Amino acid sequence: MPRLTQSDLKSLNQNFEERTPFELLQWAHQIFGERLAFLTAMQKTGTVISHMIKHLNLPVTVLFVDTGVNFQETLETRDRLISEYKLNVRTLHPELTMREQTEKHGILYLTPEGQATCCHTRKVEPLRKIAGEYDGFIGSLRRAEGGRRGKTPILSIDKEMNALRVNALANFSDEELEAYTEEHNVIVNPLHSQGFTTIGCNRCTTPVMPGEPPRAGRWRHLGPWSMYCGINPTDVSDTDQEYIELPQDVIDRVLGIENDFMI
């Protein structure tokens, strides 16, 4: 099977720097069609992209991993996207309920090692079960979030899912995010107005105090070494030397080879 590496995407990533999220979403749909999905945890960036998908009338499946310990506000936000934006939201679930997991392994999230296992079990594994169904995933990571995300490429390799990630908001600033939200009256998870700058599971996510880093509310009880859950490959590894395997015609479309559609 032909391979696509992160290095192959260097020129394309440079060309895409000046493109708008709308253009990137349209490009992704043109390239991947029905084999494109959007992955969101129902944070503000996710609902902004959801609104853009609705605005563009793109038939893109929205993927949401219900860990079993999401905040009720997050589940209600998902339901609003279904009812108000008429989006096709596909909810994924871990194999074990949180009670079953605790009975079998104890309370994992009390240590850094356990947290990594818990996040992998409840977030990553449900997604990996559908590996192969999609060639492209729209993501909502932004460089403005800082940390490892400060260098987020617009296009990145997702080796675990053997797919291409399209980070449509990579160069979207905080000001642009807020302006779009207000201008279009975007559905927003109520937790954001309660001090949550980033939203995850109810066991490991807390509000953030003024002056704290945006991700200070994630795994606060474990210290600064626990910042990411692992569901986004660029958060936890260097993808430069990794590759995915896709049909040659898909790779040709991505790279603009013998393809009339190019933004």
What residues act catalytically? 229
Distance (Å, whole) CA 127 – CA 129: 5
**H or E stretch including 5?**
strand 3-5
163-167 and 89-92 strand pairing = unpaired
> Which residues 6+ apart lie within 8 Å of 149 measured at CB?
141, 142, 143, 234, 235
Buried-state track 215-252, b at ≥16 Cβ within 10 A, e below 16? bbbbbbebeeebbbbebbbbeeeebeebbbebeeebbe
CB 187 within 8 A of CB 47: yes
CB 137 within 8 A of CB 164: yes
Q: Residue 242 is which amino acid? A: E
Question: Among 250, 232, 236, which residue's Cα sits nearest to residue 3?
Answer: 250
Distance (Å, whole) CA 222 – CA 242: 30
